[in-house]
Structure 1
Amino acid sequence: MANEDGQPGFHPFHNDPDHHILIRSENGILFRASEYHLCEASEFFRDLLNDDSIKPDTSNSNMIELGYPSEVIAVFLDLVSSSHPALPMDMEWSQITSLHKLVDYTICSSKIQSLMGKAFEEASIRDPLKVLEYASEVNDIDMVKRAVFSIKDSTMLRFRSQRAPENMSSLLTFLNGLRPSFQLAFLKACLWFDRPNQQFSLQWPMNSGRFSPEAYVFS
């Protein structure tokens, strides 16, 4: 997608000369996008493009800069321009999370938001702890609760033996990746005190109903 000078050029597909909204990705790739489709799908673009004082034109000095990879912006434009949007089957996890942030940032339609929700539901089945970590990063309570309900006993085998220092270290590393409210909620939901042995153990499946990070408020 580079031009003859080796500089980033236009995207090979999203380059319709009839589309007059210019977008540049974080890696310099240029896109021509449909104003109609952007405004239909995104509250952010609807507000931006309906304001004549800030409405972009076709000059490079007045384009929309989006700090996301070109691969993610291409998928985003596919979604907003389709009457039956669908995510590519081969998207990497980093691309899915980046697309989720872009969809959230641009305040997209419920149809696209629902599509992203289904993507995370499917990801929760495959790797719920990874989804839980991301949900903690973006502070998405609904997403993290869906991930928690998908955690199976086999998922927690690496944390099971509390007498093994490496397993405890693995648990602490995982917890340190969560925001404090999520850490407390996770521990409250799955720790129980084994009175005969006078030690704490992980109870799994966890009591998912007790997983309530919103109950903890930190200033």
Structure 2
Amino acid sequence: TEKLSRIIQNSGCCLQDVLSSVESLIRYFERIRDDINFKSFYTKLLKESESLTDKPILARHRRPPKRYQSNSDSVEFSSCEEFYRQQYMESLEIAVNMLQNRFTQKNFKLLCNVEKFILYAGKNSLDDSNDYFQSIMDFCYGDIDVEKLKVEALMIVDFFQSVIKTNQMNIKQITKISTNCEIFNSCEVGLQQQNVHLVR
């Protein structure tokens, strides 16, 4: 989770990097959510803590007063390991659910499509039937001037190649949004072009 946090906060990060990292972390959490991985984790933790603290002791089970009792029976654990196993499994489940809720929202996927469109437009000529173009039109309808975007999307490859050559930029391939931004920001026309599609 610390590595994911660093990736997300990196200024050079793009949405695809975030999505890929989140999906990897979710798969990892799901993979280690079993008895074998818990046992390994628990054994290692006990060994490392031997010189630091006492052995874990299972807290005495206390029954709440009858007025607070619900119909469901409270869980009693037979050992510390069993108690911590439940904590381990529950923590991983909560982490997976929170990541899925945050990063699998409908808008997040749509934003990834916008990013893919921008990257694709920087390397290829586009036409109306292109999937990326269609997703942009669906997502940004009313927010952009679609007709201007269509015209300029056809020229963007040539524009990028011209700017790279003129400014002697050492860019061989465009794979990140930050590269597109660098090209746009390197000349006045690029800076103006970033704002031209906004509906006034």
Give the shorter-chain TM-score range: under 0.3
Query: Which structure: larger Rg?
Result: 2
Higher strand share: 1
Give the TM-score normalised by structure 1.
0.22
Higher-RCO chain (CA-CA 8 Å, sequence separation at least 6): 2
